[in-house]
Amino acid sequence: MDDPRLSAEGELALARLALDEGDLTHAAGHLSGAIAYAPTMPEVHEVLAQLAARTGGGLDLFPLDHHPFIGTVVARAHLLAAAGQPAEGLELLAAATGHAPVADWAGVPWVGAPDLPGRLDPERLARVLMQICAGVPDPVPESDRGPLRPYLRLAEHAIEAYPHSGLLLGAGSALARRAGEIDVAVDWARRGVRHWPSKLAEVWLGYAYRSAGRTGEALAALHRAVEHDPDDLSVYADIAGTLADNGRLDEALRWTDRALARNPTFDCAVHTAHRLRYRRDGALAHLVALADFQRDHPDDSHEHSDLAECCHGQPWLSQLPAASEAVVAVLRRVLATDASPAGGRLRLTGLEPPSAMRALAATFPDLAVTVAEVAEPDLREPRRSPVRRLWRYHGTTAVPAAPVPSASAVERIRQLAHPAWPHPPAVYDAAVGLATVDLDDLLGLLVHPPEPPATPLGRTLTEHDPTLWVRSVQVWACLGLLHHRADEPWPDSTRRRVLLDLVWGIEDWTTEAALFALVTAGWVDPAARSDVAGIVAERLADAAEVARHRPVSIARSVAQLALATPGMSDAARDAARQLLAATDPPAGRAGWFTRLVNWLTGRRRGRSTAHR
């Protein structure tokens, strides 16, 4: 069922059969499915028209209940238009676009009819265009702009019908800007200001100029917007963002300071100020303060992406760092060359973490691995005792000491595990789906990671770097531990005790995963912040001490975790930076890994501008 048109034809055949039998409810259900698969397919609209003719309009067969199926919403939109209510139909199509922007919901004849806007109120048309803008990025990636074209034609026809509507011109400019039609956006916005001198019209013009690279004119328009309404602090944030994007950071911060002096809790100004301060000096405290603000003010005026933008691409703040063990380098090299190591031998000068050794063995079970020596301190022993043990050793071979997880736990982790996230509070929230997984299952997942799912993510990791999947599972399992009995007070909680056991257990990837869970606790729970900072600093000092005697493959990652820890002391941060400087990765490796993670996430950067 990967072919949408074939799927639509199947649904359409069932709809016709149900219609012939007089089963109108089932016919409507199959039509909803067909239109979701192929929203512009003429045959679907023909059968929808037949159903409408049989039922006096058919609207009752496509109700908008609490969680309507998107195909039902779109079918109802077309029926509303056919029944003489195109404004209501456009609003439903705009809602569908906000839900699934890459589908061509509006690419049908009635939306593109030149005479349609003349039958509608211009202000209502403008609100539809603003609704569309609020649901898509600014700008929309070029490959995804096709579904916006019908709306852009609608805007063109609307402006022809109402050439003096400043609101319509401004909303059309915002849509044209998102669709990459920058010259059109500037023209419409300038006309909008001429016919409707106002704050909003100037803001639309400022954004159009900014997209055109005309920074001076953009700032002039935004300054005029402030003159129209000195109390709209969002414009102050717009000016600050524009100045910062053009290297004028000190001026930008003066504008955020002006806004915060008027209202210290205005969300746009707070987000922009913290982002710019972090950009200025790189102090993690700005991001932690922003996360605290988001937690304490959940009802912001609109969604902000400043925290995610600052964390993007940074180890542990938004993604797993690459594993650095020698066995992992061998694994990647063999996969890259499509060579078969069957019957081959690998000699290691020293023992490496059990998860890394097990990942190599799982990928290449016929590869014979020998270890020349086990240096002191012995990697096979926990860093502290007594602790909960995840591994036991037979010679230099690690054996899991935790039971195999249940099938339900495996399915849950396969749905959630991923090597990237927007920022620590977001990954904490996402991991709540593991809150009901048993403790033994979570521990079992750490040493018995399941196969990757049959998804693009799973197939890519299997082909290029299976270790990244193992590490993802371990990180999310530890995040699940962070949700275990979350009602228990932190100092004496089961979750803290278990994570500490993992932190001080055998040196392993699970050490990093447990530390990240603790770091995340520090981000989301200010009461745990000081305790977490102390634990991470202590583990960092231990890694640095061991590294004086033998290689510690996780040392670099532990240092990165320390730099991501809220409330970390200056001394510990300095120690982390020194450790990082002493463990620079080989040239090219970090760039390769970042490209892989960016490809996997498909993340598109850009700050939200709401409907502007």
For 208-252, write each residue's pLDDT tens digit.
Answer: 999 999 999 999 999 999 999 999 999 999 999 999 999 999 999
In a domain, 449, yes or no: yes
CB of 108 closer than 8 Å to CB of 78: yes
DSSP classification of residue 179: T
Q: How far apart are CA 168 and CA 161, in angstroms?
A: 10
CB of 145 closer than 8 Å to CB of 193: no
Contacts 24+ apart (CB under 8 A), 378-382: 379/351, 379/352, 379/353, 379/506, 379/507, 379/550, 380/351, 380/506, 381/506, 382/504, 382/505, 382/506
For 529-565, write each residue's pLDDT tens digit.
Answer: 999 999 999 999 999 999 999 999 999 999 999 999 9
For 302-325, write each residue's pLDDT tens digit.
Answer: 788 999 999 999 999 999 999 999
Residue 253 pLDDT level (bands cut at 50, 70, 90): very high
For 459-513, write each residue's pLDDT tens digit.
Answer: 988 888 999 999 999 999 999 999 999 999 999 999 999 999 999 999 999 999 9
Helical pair 233-245 and 249-262, crossing angle rounded to 10 deg: 170
Is residue 29 over pLDDT 70? yes
In a domain, 517, yes or no: yes
For 402-448, write each residue's pLDDT tens digit.
Answer: 999 999 999 999 999 999 999 999 999 999 999 999 999 999 999 99
Percent share of the chain, pLDDT over 70: 95
Number of domains in the chain: 1
- pLDDT for the residue 338: 75
Q: Cα–chain-centroid distance for residue 606?
A: 12
pTM for this entry: 0.85
293 versus 342: the higher-pLDDT residue is 293
Q: Is 57 left (phi over 0), alpha (psi -120 to 50) or beta?
A: left
In a domain, 237, yes or no: no
In a domain, 573, yes or no: yes
Average pLDDT, the chain: 93
Residue 590 pLDDT level (bands cut at 50, 70, 90): low
Range of 443's domain? 326-601
In a domain, 514, yes or no: yes
In a domain, 62, yes or no: no
Contacts of 261 by beta carbon, 8 Å cutoff, 6+ apart: none
Closest by CA to 291, choosing from 133, 73, 519, 72, is 519
- pLDDT for the residue 263: 96
Residue 352 pLDDT level (bands cut at 50, 70, 90): very high
- pLDDT for the residue 177: 97
Q: How far apart are CA 472 and CA 463, in angstroms?
A: 16
In a domain, 505, yes or no: yes
Closest by CA to 428, choosing from 483, 362, 379, is 483
Is residue 385 over pLDDT 90? no
- pLDDT for the residue 1: 47
In a domain, 55, yes or no: no
- pLDDT for the residue 605: 45
Is residue 79 over pLDDT 50? yes
